[in-house]
Amino acid sequence: MMKKRIGEIFHPGIIGVQPGDETQKAIGLMREHNVSCVLVLEGERPVGIFTERDLVRCVAEHRAGFRDRPICEVMTRGVLGCRADSRLYETFHLLAAHGIRHLAVQDEDGRAVGMVTQSDLIRHLGYDYFVKVKTVSQIMQKNVVTILPEASVLEASRLMAARSLSFLVAASQFSPEGVVTERDVTRLVAEGRDLAEVKVREVMSSPVVALRHDAPAFEAAELMRKRGIRRLVVLDEFGAAVGVATQTDLVRGLESKYIETLKRIIVDQGEELDRAVRELTAKTLYLDSILTSSVDMGIVATDAEGRVAFCNCGAERCLGCTAAQMQGRSLEDIHAGEGVTPERLAAAMQAVRQGQTHSFSFERPGPEGPLAVSARLAAIRSRDALAGYVLLLMDVTEQRRAEETIRRMAYHDLLTDLPNRALFTERLALELAHSQRRGKPLALMVLDLDRFKEVNDTLGHAAGDEVLRQVADRLRGSLRESDTVARMGGDEFALVIPEVAGAEDALSVARKVLAGFDAPLAVDGRDLPVRMSVGVALYPEHGADMDGLLRQADAAMYRAKDQGKEQGCSCCLLTECG
């Protein structure tokens, strides 16, 4: 259907006026031929267009004083056009991109030979396929602009012009009674009526053509086609108006919502993938347009041999190479470049050919740091034959960063960025298992700042926080990479020192840690000396499990605190304190 050409569906012949003709002539032609626009021509070449939207704007601005003015003064200048040999999808994208309803069909010399409208495309685009996957609520405009039935058509025209609307819902007490449109305004102006004297109730279409919000969108398109209208009102389950749906909304739905739906189908519904991509042959320009438009997802499509035929800009960003560089490359090359072994790929390709999918992830350097990519490979089938493959790539860098931030917040102290009690417990359990397996002792140290409460009471909590941050930095600087330092809460810290030679080695490390605090801390322009007590326990000598070892280290720390009341910093090994 999308391969059809405009020459098969457009309206031949032109309804047009010359730039110097009075606007009244254009209005009369629109009324006589029941059309929504006329072209403004110099010779046979279009230089402008006058639509029902332009007419409503003129009514709002000039009331009736514009009808004898030259059409060139009130028309929309410039006309978007297409050739008779243009394909439907090209015209479809042109209308959607510019938000318009009319295109002039021109020959190779730029002469106008006909018109094609939004309604023509809706009838021929195969909407029944494209919009079955969405409901009216997904394409409708949620704001319902209403006017009282007793208001004048002039008021309605001004409201339509101000909001750039093609129609208004006439309603009283939130109940829709009818619809007044640009076409109604055109008819009244052509008849020479004074719009200030005509009530909306007199001209509105009633009853309202409506559809429920949960109805399939293709029903909206079909209802518009059967009634010969371009819009309808959307109702909720209680009959209240909750939105409006127009042909323009259908076109926009085909332009944007379809791409969104296609991605969801491909990612989440493997069974729907075959049905969706079967309609898009591997080498149509329409698929190429989707690939180009889906900038937030990388899409690579290949032929049946696995050679790249399509590559969008999202894939360029995820893979770090241009579409030209990707063209003709094999899936094997792409996977190998991201660290997937040939054996794993062979098994994956076999699974994909049998209807399954192959997922993998990788990282590569990016302009702002490592780029994390999640990838999924699936087969494209045409009837019973394999037509190719589609590789979907999603940049999950921000997601990974968010996960890392959450994980870090869960396992690290926010003030000092040291491991918190939860992460310390995991690491201690791990190191205990290693010590048991290797038969080598492990030292656990518990540290406590002496008289820290005085800092908070005299200098304030901000100064106390700064003391804790600097203590954490000095502890980090005095240990090996294989050691662990954690903040257990308050002014208490803990160290895990694996593979110590014995008691003397553990005490040597503790003294080194304390020596790191010989110099005072600089806090708020003053020097603060640090007094610290350290309790040391050895595995397996002082405890065979985590809880027992922690209790013994705590006991040693309190004994060290008692011993250090007169001498400042002190450390105590459990067996030496007993």
Active site residues: 491
With a CB cutoff of 8 Å and minimum separation 6, the contacts of 578 are: none
Supply 240's token pair. 């209240």
With a CB cutoff of 8 Å and minimum separation 6, the contacts of 209 are: 179, 223, 227, 229, 232, 233
Supply 228's token pair. 């010969």
Which position has the token pair 């790249």?
A: 308
With a CB cutoff of 8 Å and minimum separation 6, the contacts of 380 are: 274, 277, 278, 282, 301, 386, 387, 388, 389, 390
Alpha-carbon distances of 369 from 372, 398, 400, rounded to whole Å: 10, 11, 13
* Residue 243 CA neighbour count, 13 Å, CB half: 19
Alpha-carbon distances of 522 from 460, 514, 526, 532, rounded to whole Å: 15, 17, 6, 17
- Please state, in angstroms and rounded to a whole number, the distance separating the CA atoms of residues 149 and 156: 10
Query: Of 394, 391, 354, which Cα lies nearest the Cα of 376?
Result: 391
- The residues pairing with 299 across neighbouring beta strands, listed in sequence order, are 392
Largest CA distance in the chain: 112
Secondary structure of residue 502 in the 3-state scheme: coil
Residue-by-residue DSSP string for 51-87: EHHHHHHHHHHHTTTTTTSBGGGTSEES--EEETT-B
Which position has the token pair 């969008």?
A: 312
Phi, psi (degrees; rounded to nearest 5) at 362: -155, 165
CB-CB neighbours of 13 under 10 Å: 10
Element (H, E) at 214: none
Class of residue 103 by CB neighbours under 10 A (exposed 0-12, middle 13-18, buried 19+): buried
